[in-house]
């Protein structure tokens, strides 16, 4: 399989540019693939992800990019590179799995470990919540994390997601079954948070 070329990845370009106070969420491009590979190959990041193997190779990163491009071309997902708009530093990725029929999305994200503890994940997640309800006009946004994902749990709480329940031993990772915790925001809940100044 040949090397990735931006002109082949027209689906990725469908991601709109989203701005927050410190961050830019922009379309992913070929130049990001090396950053994605090196970041996800970091065990600190990989250990927080649900299905990603380790080591995480360049071939895996390229295949992931191709799959995202295909999904975005078919409107089943949308992914962004999270960046510092001043320095263009790559910080992580933000993504949505999209079901137009169900008027719902699932949120996915990770942050390069060198940029942890700066509030970037919460800021990017909140900007994406606004996009889901204001631009995509969705009814429901949901997110899950592994039972041990304390950092992700904190981001989810800061964004106002409502706890739904524990999906018992639904994830098999590294030969062990793990519980998955589920949360969501409904459109009326988002509007109430917006009215109260949370968004």
Could you tell me which residues come within 8 angstroms of residue 113 by beta carbon, excluding any fewer than 6 positions away?
39, 42, 44, 45
- Total of domains in the chain: 1
- CATH number (domain holding residue 88): 3.40.630.30
Residue 1 resides in a domain: no
pTM: 0.94
Residue 57 resides in a domain: yes
Residue 56 resides in a domain: yes
pLDDT in tens, the chain (199 residues): 456 656 668 899 999 999 999 999 999 999 999 999 999 999 999 888 888 888 999 999 999 999 999 999 999 999 999 999 999 999 999 999 999 999 999 999 999 999 999 999 999 999 999 999 999 999 999 999 988 888 899 999 999 999 999 999 999 887 889 999 999 999 999 999 999 999 9
Q: pLDDT at position 7, please?
A: 63
Residue 167 resides in a domain: yes
Residue 72 belongs to domain spanning: 6-195
Q: pLDDT at position 1, please?
A: 46
What's the CA gap between 190 and 160, in Å, rounded?
Answer: 8
Residue 60 resides in a domain: yes
Q: pLDDT at position 96, please?
A: 98
What's the CA gap between 187 and 181, in Å, rounded?
Answer: 21
Residue 44 resides in a domain: yes
Residue 81 resides in a domain: yes
Is residue 58 within 8 Å of residue 87, measured between CB atoms?
no
Residue 191 resides in a domain: yes
Q: pLDDT at position 54, please?
A: 87
Q: pLDDT at position 78, please?
A: 98
């Amino acid at each position: 399989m040949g090397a990735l070329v931006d002109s082949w990845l027209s689906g990725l370009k469908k991601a709109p540019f989203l701005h927050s106070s410190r961050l830019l969420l922009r379309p992913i491009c070929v130049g990001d693939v090396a950053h994605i590979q090196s970041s996800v190959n970091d065990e600190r990041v990989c250990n927080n992800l649900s299905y990603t193997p380790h080591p995480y190779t360049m071939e895996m990163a390229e295949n992931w990019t191709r799959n995202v491009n295909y999904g975005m071309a078919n409107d089943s997902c949308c992914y962004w590179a999270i960046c510092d708009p001043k320095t263009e530093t790559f910080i992580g990725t933000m993504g949505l799995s999209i079901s137009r029929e169900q008027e719902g999305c699932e949120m996915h994200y990770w942050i390069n470990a060198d940029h942890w503890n700066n509030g970037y994940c919460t800021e990017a997640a909140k900007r994406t919540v606004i996009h889901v309800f204001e631009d995509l006009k969705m009814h429901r946004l949901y997110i899950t994390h592994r039972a041990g994902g304390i950092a992700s749990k904190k981001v989810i709480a800061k964004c106002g997601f409502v706890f739904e329940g524990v999906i018992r031993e639904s994830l098999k990772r590294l030969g062990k079954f793990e519980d998955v915790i589920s949360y969501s925001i409904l459109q009326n809940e988002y509007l109430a948070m917006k009215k109260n100044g949370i968004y």
